[in-house]
Structure 1
Amino acid sequence: MEAETMTTSGETTLSGERADLLASLRKSRHFLRFTGRDLTDEQAARRTTVSELCLGGLIKHVTGCERRWVDFILEGPTAMEADPQAWAEQFRMGEGETLAGLLEAYDEVARRTEEVVATLPDLDATQPLPEAPWFEPGARWSARTVLLHVIAETAQHAGHADIIRESLDGAKTMG
């Protein structure tokens, strides 16, 4: 396991590869969260492009993806099983959902991910990918590969969110 240091408050901090992976994921999460700043629930639920995506739905989707992929690291391919209806619904805000609630759920998933990454015995440990047309048959992913995938997915969706936000009210995440 990589080097850990103890802070004055008694918290353990990571260094090396794990710290770098988590810092990259935190940065992408920040940009996604920042895109939703100062929005009402109605604005967060509004589609602004021809896509089905809305800001709240993107946050909901990324939360679910991160949760499932961390479950995959721990439990294997059965963690990736999803109901097709639930899959479609994760891209939009449902009745009674709020942006604040979605962001709170995202924070909970982020805390769990950070804890799992900090305590994993080995980033090289692999799990077989579930059977799906988009995965190579018989392929296995290491915990490291899963984390890199979550970082890429989060960054990609933060970009989508930026486009949606700019279409909504002209606000930009960067620039």
Structure 2
Amino acid sequence: MSDDDALAPERADLIASLQRHRFFLRNAARELTDEQAGQRSTVSELCVGGLIKHTAQTERGWVDFILDGPASMPSGDDPEAYQRYADSFRMLPGDTLAGVLKTYDEVARRTDDLVRTLPDLDASQPLPPAPWFEPGARWSARRVLLHVIAETAQHAGHADIIREAIDGAKSMG
């Protein structure tokens, strides 16, 4: 019996879903070199290592939002924040696949711990003003976690396609 078996079913389901999609994303990077992890194998700017790096950054940011509200999110008109966002999709000089995966593991542990211990999944925060958010909208912790799951699943699919184009290996299907 795992520690998650004692959780309320909803919390256990959220963690299981996150872990499943994280596995598929990480699996796309199995046995890749740092060079391959940074390789663009399609017409997009995406690479496997960058997708993992971006997903970790995004998950960390949304957990910060659950805990600290909209002040934890960068302003849409901050050029440095935009550059950090753009760089999150790339393996930059000094980035290694091992380092990106280690950071992702740390972020995942923090998120999973939050899901286990957050007093109320209905607790909500107002979304910051942004053209992609409905004005005045609030997201509950539950909705944020569902968004993180969707992002992770989407990027796992991207990583699978990129990996297949690198060496024919598939991480799904």
**Both structures adopt the same fold (TM-score exceeding 0.5):** yes
Paired with 2:163 and 2:42, the residues of 1 have a C-alpha distance of 10
Residues 47 and 125 of structure 1: CA distance in aligned 2, closer, same or farther (over 3 Å): same
1:67 aligned to 2:67?
A: no
The structural deviation recorded for 1:93 is 0.5
Structure-to-structure mapping, 1:95-134, within 5 angstroms:
95-134=93-132
Alpha-carbon separation, structure 2, partners of 1:118 and 1:42? 37
Matches of 1:117 and 1:6 in 2, distance apart?
15
Separation (CA, whole Å) in 1 of partners of 2:2 and 2:126: 35
Distance 1:106 1:88 in 2: 18
- Which residue of structure 2 lines up, in the alignment, with residue 169 of structure 1? 167
- 1:8-157 equivalences in 2 (<5 Å): 13-81=6-74, 83-157=81-155
- Matches of 1:98 and 1:167, distance apart in 2: 20
Query: 5+ unaligned residues in a row in structure 2: which ranges?
Result: 76-80
**Aligned-residue identity in percent:** 68
Structure 2 CA distance for partners of 1:49 and 1:131, relative to 1, 3 Å: same
C-alpha displacement of 1:6: 8.6
Quote how far apart the aligned CAs of 1:115 are.
0.9
In structure 1, the residue matched to 2:78 is none
Deviation at 1:166, TM superposition (A): 0.5
Q: Aligned-pair distance for 1:13?
A: 4.2
Q: What does the per-residue CA deviation read over 1:87-120, in whole Å, with 9 as the maximum and x for residues that have no partner?
A: 1110001111100110000000000001111111
Can you give the 5+ residue segments of structure 1 that lack an aligned partner in the other structure?
none
Whole-angstrom CA distance in 1 between matches of 2:7 and 2:91: 35
SS of aligned partner of 1:127: strand
Q: Distance in 2 between matches of 1:103 and 1:69?
A: 19
Shift of 1:174: 2.2
- Aligned partners of 2:5 and 2:12 also within 8 Å: no
Please tell me the root mean square deviation across aligned C-alpha atoms, in Å: 1.6
**3-state SS, counterpart of residue 139 of structure 2:** strand
SS at match of 1:69: helix
Shift in Å, 1:80: 1.5
Q: Give the TM-score normalised by structure 1.
A: 0.92
Runs of 4+ in 1 over 4 A off after TM superposition: none
TM-score by length of 2: 0.93
